[in-house]
Amino acid sequence: MILSELSTLIGGTLFGDPDCGVEKVTSLDESDPSALTFVLEPQYIEAAKAAKAKAFITFTQIEGLANQIVVKNPRKALAQVVTLMSPKLPENEGVSGKSEVHSTAQVEKNVTVSSFSVVGADSHVGEGSYIHSNVTVGKNCKIGTNCIIYPNVVIYDNSVIGNNVILHGGVVIGSDGFGYFPEQKKWNKIPHIGRVVVGDDVEIGANASISKGCLGDTVIGKGTKIDSLVHVAHNCK
């Protein structure tokens, strides 16, 4: 990508050769003469001066560095540039012949359901969503538009997933909550009949687990970001 174009796209100020082209984005210590890299904070200035990168995106103009784009918010610029220069999600691949989509399930247009994934009865998958391989979507689930569901995710019956949701590998949505009552020297299971409802623009990290409510819903609100290996218990909001 040409620096003059990139600078315009991210709203930065270019110091250096506007016709300079970069081929990839790397960290400072892994940079090479074809790379663009970032100086996010003052503590990285010395490392930047020693880096081999062709161009830098920085929080301030740094003496001795050629080809700099200075921005107000370098972390925002990092997100923008990675999105612009990294490989995009594959185009819609349709429903694989090696997947299993129930006859009563509704899959909208431009949806991918990859090999060995299952979409259960009466479930709905919104337009533009991408279901990777080995995903299980139970019965009567609702998955919104433009969701990305990575391999080995399990979505139990009756779960609701909003729009633009990202579920990383191994996420479990809607497993039973940890509910028991003691009687005659043993623990007896309390059935859970609630749901998990995940709002729009949520991202849940790998191997996180969200338990469904006992009677009501467990709710993950709009815009929530949950790291890997997190457990959200039943009926939490």
- The residues annotated as belonging to the active site are 234
Which positions ≥6 away from 51 have C-beta within 8 Å? 28, 29, 31, 37
SS (H, E, C) the chain: CEHHHHHHHHCCEEECCCCCECCEECCHHHCCCCEEEEECCHHHHHHHHHCCCCEEEECCCCCCCCCEEECCCHHHHHHHHHHHHCCCCCCCCCECCCCEECCCCEECCCCEECCCCEECCCCEECCCCEECCCCEECCCCEECCCCEECCCCEECCCCEECCCCEECCCCEEEECCCCEEEECCEEEECCCCCCEEECCCCEECCCCEEECCCCCCEEECCCCEECCCCEECCCCC
- For residue 27, give the nearest of 78, 61, 76, 67 by alpha carbon: 78
